Each structure stands twice: as C-alpha cells, then as structure tokens.
Amino acid sequence: MKRVVFIVVVVALLGGGVYWMYERGQGRHIPSTPPAGAPTAGTCYKVDANGAKAALPWAGDPVDCAGAHTVELFHIGQVGKDLLHRLDDAKGDGVRITQALLYAQARRTCLVQGPLFLAGGWHEARVQIVASWIKPATDGFFGCGVAEVTGPTGDQFAAREGTLKGALAQDSPLAIACVKQSGDLLRYVGCAETHDGEYSGVYTIAPPEAPFDEAAVKSATAKGCTTVGLKYLGLPENGSRDDLAPGSVGPKTASDWLGSDQVFACYLTSLKPLKATVRGIGSAPLPLG
C-alpha cells in the first residue's frame, strides 16, 4: 500500500463559523431561553449546504419532517455566558480569540449530541452534522442539525423523508460503502457499482483538544489510515500494496480543527476502477472493473 498519497478533502462540520455579530457593554443581561420565533429541536428545513451556513431561522418556512426536507434540527444549545461577557469586553485580537472559543464550544456540543441522536457514529454514515447561530447571535444560542449528504465533502445535501433519530442504530442503510469520482466531486455509491475508493474505518488523533499542527495532522492521518486500511484488507501492520493508497476525510485546516472531535474517515483508493469490495482480500488481485 502506498503511504504517501491520500485524499485531501476538508469537511466543514459547522456552518456559520465566521458569522458572529456582537455588541459591547459590560454586565448586560443575557437571556437563558431562546428568542421568540427561534426554531426548536425536531424542526426540519429545505435548505442547501450554503443556506445552512446562515444564522437560524433559515430562509423559507420549516417543513414537516415526515415530508421532503434536507436538514433536521436535533438540539438547541447556548454557549457559556462567561464567554459572551468576555466577548462584550474584548478588544483587538481578544475579539477574534473569544469568537473562536465560542465557535469551538458550539461545534463541540453538536458533535457530542449528534451520535446520541443518531444512535451511532456519524463519521461512518452518509450524514453531516451542521450548526448555526440563532439570531440574535449576541445571546449565544445555536442549533445543531443533521443532513443526509451525497458524498464525503458534505457540501451537497440529499432530500429525504422521515426523522434521522436512531437511524444509525444497527445495519443502517446510511452506512458508507464506496466512493466514485464524478467530475470534480466524490459521491457515495454501493461497492457493487464501479468505484474508485472504499471506506475502511475511522482514525482518531489523540489527545482530545490537541493543538492544530498541519504537518503533524497530515502525518498522523496518513499513518493512522494506513494501519486502518491494512486491517480492513486483512494484512499485517507491516504489509503493503502498491495498487491501493490510503486516503482520509476530516478536519485538516485550523478552522475545521477548532472544536472538532479529531476523527477522520479513512478510505482505500485505486487508480483503476473497482467493481467489488476489497475488504479482506489480503494480497489477492484487485477486483478491477
């Protein structure tokens, strides 16, 4: 297995990361309940990935989750009031630093609550966790949502019907199988369809809340996903294949790393189209299409 080639795909886990309006003033009253008209958990919307980056409520009226929709809100939260007051008083670089802390806190909450709602690890499924501030953002309320997506980049939402609550409990139809290059995009496909890569597992960088270092993250994921891939193929840790390369999808920039769970989805990629799974094939020939 080649150890130097991997997919560089960044998944944006939190919509609206750069959006934050604030007012200055010491000791202002910060409400403990969301404003009137704010969406609640269980609200669904028809919105695309770009639309989900805006502050809530999103454009268009909420829709019945039993009907066609793209995003389902599953949790409404509020960041710490101490940080909100700190932002009120911040100046210069302190504004940017405090905004980053608030952003990380909101994102982390959504990533913790997501698997509880889904009843499984979302990195292993064709879903994306998103979060957006609720207007007015100065009060620190945010909504966590989940969307079914068409590919690893998570930038195209799929219309669906019905709730995703508990959808990943067991043998989920949303489990990731294989991926195929379609123009400039990667999309999820079944492994019986001609494909270019196959999901092999997840790799988590430790310790939690580790500082971001681009070179270190790149090196760690390359090594980690190589090990995951070899196990998936049924090869020993010192094994190798020249016709497959490890790839990864996860937080590979400072902004995506902030507040993330540091989990990467690992893939095995081939330069030649495959027509079947490579799971457990060991050193046998690839099932080329």
β partners of residue 189: 178
What is the spatial distance between Cα 147 and Cα 166, in angstroms, rounded to a whole number? 14
pLDDT band for position 147 (cuts 50, 70, 90): very high
Evaluate whether 51 touches 167 at the Cβ level (below 8 Å). no
Report yes or no: 143 and 76 within 8 Å, Cβ to Cβ: yes
Candidates 250, 248, 259, 249; CA nearest to 210 is 259
Per-residue pLDDT at 170: 84
Cβ burial 63-97 (10 Å sphere, 16+ → b, else e): eebeeebbbbbbbbbbbeeebbbbbbebeeeebee
Model confidence at 15: pLDDT above 80: no
Which helix (DSSP H) or strand (DSSP E) does residue 128 occupy? strand 127-133
pLDDT at residue 93, as a whole number: 94
pTM of this structure: 0.86
The residue count of the chain comes to: 289
pLDDT at 9: 33
Mean pLDDT of 242-268: 94
Q: Can you tell me the mean pLDDT for 145-150?
A: 98
Q: Return the amino acid letter for 63.
A: V
Of the listed ranges 1-10, 23-32, 166-175, 246-255, the one predicted with least confidence: 1-10
Q: What is the 8-class DSSP label of residue 93?
A: H
Q: Is the pLDDT confidence value at 284 over 50?
A: yes
pLDDT over threshold 70, residue 13:
no
Residues 243-278 as b/e (b if ≥16 CB within 10 A, e otherwise) read ebbbbbbbbbeebbbbbbbbbbbbbbbbeeebebbb
- Higher-confidence residue of 25 and 54: namely 54
pLDDT, tens digit, 9 for 90 and up, residues 103-128: 899 999 999 999 999 999 999 999 99
